[in-house]
């Protein structure tokens, strides 16, 4: 079965392009499911049902995060932009301007080593 959302003939596309399309399509579906669950949560009048819907919605968010990570690992530009914009305390609309000026982002620690900046949790003797 092929995707109905391909804009070019599948036979002309690289396998990497098709896999990325699958991931993007799946991501769109997960985000749409989050939106639907949000609406159902707002409309539900039974507390038990709301709890189940909240749980299900949060599972969809996990799936979306997994797909974003897959895209980051497979696409260097996604990796670049995710590293630039995600997990920053700076104003999202100002990040590009600040990064182009080589100034540190306000509220961000410099953790270019990939650490979270909390140091070792091992006791030193």
Structural domain range at position 83: 14-92
Gap between the Cα atoms of 63 and 43, Å rounded: 24
The verdict on residue 123 lying in a domain is no
The verdict on residue 97 lying in a domain is no
Q: Buried b vs exposed e over 38-54: b needs ≥16 C-beta within 10 Å?
A: eebbeeeeeeeeeeebe
Q: What angle separates helix 76-85 from helix 47-74, to the nearest 10 degrees?
A: 120
Other Cβ atoms closer than 10 A to 62: 10
This prediction's pTM: 0.75
Q: Is the pLDDT of residue 122 over 90?
A: no
The total number of structural domains that make up the chain: 1
Among 22-26, 59-63, 74-78, 92-96, the range scoring the smallest mean pLDDT is: 92-96
């Amino acid at each position: 079965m092929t995707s109905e959302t391909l804009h070019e003939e599948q036979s002309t596309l690289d396998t990497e392009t098709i896999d990325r399309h699958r991931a993007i399509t799946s991501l769109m579906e997960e985000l749409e499911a989050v939106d639907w669950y949000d609406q159902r949560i707002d409309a539900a009048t039974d507390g038990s049902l709301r709890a189940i819907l909240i749980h299900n919605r949060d599972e969809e968010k996990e799936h979306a995060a997994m797909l974003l990570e897959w895209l980051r690992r497979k696409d260097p530009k996604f990796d670049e932009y995710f590293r630039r914009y995600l997990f920053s305390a700076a104003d999202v609309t100002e990040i590009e301007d600040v990064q182009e000026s080589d100034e540190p982002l306000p509220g961000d620690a410099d953790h270019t080593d990939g650490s979270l900046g909390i140091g070792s949790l091992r006791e030193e003797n």
